A = this chain, B = another copy of it.
Amino acid sequence: MRAVTFQAPGEVAVEERPEPELLAPDDAVVRVDATGVCGSDLHIYHGRVKIEPGFVIGHEFVGTVVAAGDAVTRVSEGDRVLGCFHTACGACFYCLQGAYQSCDEARVFGHGATLGSLQGAQAEQVLVPRANLTLRRVPGGMSDDVALFAGDVMGTAFHAVVEGGAGPGDSVAVLGAGPVGLCAMQVAKATGAAHVIAVDTVEDRLAVAESFGATAVHLTEGDVRGTVKELTEGRGVDVCIDAVGNPEVLDLAARVTRKAGTVSAIGVYAERVEVHMGVIWIKALTLRTGRANVIAHVDAVLAMIAAGVLDPAPLVSRHMSLDEAPAAYEAYANREALKIVMSP
């Protein structure tokens, strides 16, 4: 089968690979119908996240179950399914606490040896371990483009908002209007936020944010703090989502969040950074961090997408063939698209 592999920083290839086979009774094999290119893939593409050359990449997929082990009970051969971006065991200390993202046996698709040596989903077929936890049937009538978001980008946005503690009537600022940030705005609106404030530097993205019901503010040309104050009676937002992951953004998040509020840092941090703990502490903020717990939330996210309460369709800006993967990565790296969906 054909599969997209990492070769070197800035270089991916479409190569031939053997079709996957079931290795355990709770494995499934999925024939991929659609697979997305995601911001996390770019970290690999740019060489910031190191993986082995030749490793199959990609972690967003919708497809059809072509084989399922005896212990797979939630889906069956022939089912149209979507996958979460990682697996979890369902039985360890962390899974029993509902913290599936921290599962001791979690493996992330397409992220090389450091995250579990699980070949990726940008391929004709993908092997899915722990299929009961990782796969879900696509509700009838839902398109591939939209289903693709449930186990990754929209699930991450849902986590950022809901585990960030945003509740009905709250004001929520979202710093960064990439796919996760834009989906977070949708989630915030859909769960009852009174105000959603979108901050970015790209006009097109701010326009999408506005179309999602957010009040859009340009990071440098607009007045972020003034807008927040105006919409929150001077208090600051209840929850601020850092959908970027850098210290200036974290700093701004702390500034625009009200006393006793929450900063939900869903953007990736990997290093030591300078943080204004003085501001954070005096305001008695809570900081939530880490990779999203999409397995815990995928049923809710799917239900909301199926009900039309959430709709990621406007984010899909380009469809390409799997064979065009090198061009797709180049376009995505150049920010020419919010979401590229590839089909084998």
A: residues with CB less than 8 A from B are 24-26, 70-71, 73-74, 89-99, 101-102, 105, 132-133, 158, 162, 167-171, 187, 190-195, 235, 245, 247, 250, 259-260, 265, 268-278, 280-291, 295-297, 299-304, 306-307, 309
Are B290 and A283 in touch, CB under 8 angstroms? Answer: yes
Are B260 and A290 in touch, CB under 8 angstroms? Answer: yes
Whether A158 contacts B168 in the complex (CB less than 8 A), given A269-B280, A277-B269, A286-B288, comes out as yes
Are A74 and B92 in touch, CB under 8 angstroms? Answer: yes
Shortest CB distance A180–B (Å):
14
Shortest CB distance A42–B (Å):
18
Q: A259 contacts which chain B residues (CB < 8 A)?
A: 94, 99, 102
Expressed in whole angstroms, the Cα–Cα distance for A256 and B68 within the complex equals 33
Whether A93 contacts B273 in the complex (CB less than 8 A), given A101-B284, A191-B191, comes out as no
Residue from A191, A275, A299 having most chain B Cβ neighbours under 10 A:
A275
Residue from A105, A192, A250, A286 having most chain B Cβ neighbours under 10 A:
A192
Are B282 and A290 in touch, CB under 8 angstroms? Answer: yes
Residue of B nearest to A98 (CB): B98
Expressed in whole angstroms, the Cα–Cα distance for A255 and B60 within the complex equals 32
Are B272 and A281 in touch, CB under 8 angstroms? Answer: no
Residue of B nearest to A158 (CB): B168
Are A93 and B299 in touch, CB under 8 angstroms? Answer: yes
Residue from A97, A101, A195 having most chain B Cβ neighbours under 10 A:
A97
Q: Looking at chain A's contact residues, is the secondary structure mostly helix, strand, loop, or mixed?
A: mixed
Q: A295 contacts which chain B residues (CB < 8 A)?
A: 96
Are A24 and B277 in touch, CB under 8 angstroms? Answer: no
Are A300 and B168 in touch, CB under 8 angstroms? Answer: yes
Q: A306 contacts which chain B residues (CB < 8 A)?
A: 194
- Having A190-B192, A194-B304, A281-B289, one finds 8 other A-B pairs with CB under 8 Å, namely A73-B91, A167-B300, A169-B297, A192-B192, A270-B277, A270-B278, A272-B278, A286-B289
Residue of B nearest to A190 (CB): B192
Expressed in whole angstroms, the Cα–Cα distance for A167 and B281 within the complex equals 23
Expressed in whole angstroms, the Cα–Cα distance for A226 and B325 within the complex equals 47
Are A307 and B93 in touch, CB under 8 angstroms? Answer: no
Are B260 and A271 in touch, CB under 8 angstroms? Answer: no
A–B pairs, 28, beta carbons within 8 Å: A24-B25, A26-B71, A73-B91, A73-B105, A74-B92, A89-B132, A96-B133, A97-B98, A98-B98, A102-B284, A168-B187, A169-B297, A169-B303, A171-B303, A187-B192, A191-B192, A192-B309, A195-B303, A245-B281, A265-B277, A270-B278, A270-B281, A271-B276, A273-B275, A280-B289, A284-B289, A284-B291, A285-B290
Q: A190 contacts which chain B residues (CB < 8 A)?
A: 168, 192
Expressed in whole angstroms, the Cα–Cα distance for A192 and B71 within the complex equals 33
Are A274 and B273 in touch, CB under 8 angstroms? Answer: yes
Residue of B nearest to A276 (CB): B272
Residue of B nearest to A271 (CB): B278
Are A90 and B93 in touch, CB under 8 angstroms? Answer: no
Expressed in whole angstroms, the Cα–Cα distance for A162 and B35 within the complex equals 37
Are A91 and B94 in touch, CB under 8 angstroms? Answer: no
Shortest CB distance A264–B (Å):
10
